[in-house]
Amino acid sequence: MNKRQSKKEHLLASGMEVMKLRGYQGTSVKDIVDVAGVPKGSFYNYFASKEAFVLEAIEKAASSSYANAEKTLLNTAKPPLERIVDFFQSGIDQACDSEFKHGCFLGNLTQEMSDTSDPIRLKLKAALNRVTALIAEVVEEVHPKQEGDASELQPFIVAEFLFNAWEGALMRAKATKNREPFDAFLTMTRYILK
């Protein structure tokens, strides 16, 4: 990675950390450059605007999230239900380690910005759908469709429900500052997929 790319990555990482705590609206370009330790003009050498910055931050977070999801969900050395639980457990561990302050970068932005910016909303939608599709692949392994099965519970619908419930558990854990919403989520995940 060359020096220019390295500085851009540093700005992205710094800005994402600030936004995890303060949100998009609560984070200024000055906040980002202060945390990154670079002059404000440097920000505009890499990003045309704060919105352009967050679009790239979403891409960075989505790529990282998807790579982590693949590593866990596609680990065929474990049974599929265990992989799904492990995937969500890793998010629980991160939330607990941060004392419930961060939540999910993509989920937080979705709640805050979906009504404000179509480019951000569409980028978030694509990122979240990509992970949901990966979960659906593993749900299909848990309950393979049998020929002639007319069940309404298609793997993508189950995955969509699980991912939506997961985001809700993250939100509730932030509000309650404890892991009880996660415990309820994991209990229901195991129940739904058994």
Could you please report the per-residue DSSP string of the chain? --HHHHHHHHHHHHHHHHHHHHTTTT--HHHHHHHHTS-HHHHHHH-SSHHHHHHHHHHHHHHHHHHHHHHHHT-TTS-HHHHHHHHHHHHHHHHHHTTT-S--HHHHHHHHHTTT-HHHHHHHHHHHHHHHHHHHHHHHHHSPPPTT---S--HHHHHHHHHHHHHHHHHHHHHHTSSHHHHHHHHHHHHHH-
Q: How far apart are CA 24 and CA 113, in angstroms?
A: 8
pLDDT over threshold 80, residue 149: no
Task: Decide: residue 133, CB within 10 A, 0-12 exposed, 13-18 middle, 19+ buried.
Answer: middle
Label residue 103 by pLDDT band (50, 70, 90).
Answer: confident
pLDDT over threshold 80, residue 148: no
- pTM for the predicted model, two decimal places: 0.88
Domains, the chain: 1-47 (1.10.10.60), 55-193 (1.10.357.10)
The per-residue pLDDT for range 27-62, each reduced to its tens digit, is: 999 999 999 999 999 999 999 999 999 999 999 999
pLDDT at 126: 97
Label residue 147 by pLDDT band (50, 70, 90).
Answer: low
Q: How far apart are CA 160 and CA 94, in angstroms?
A: 22
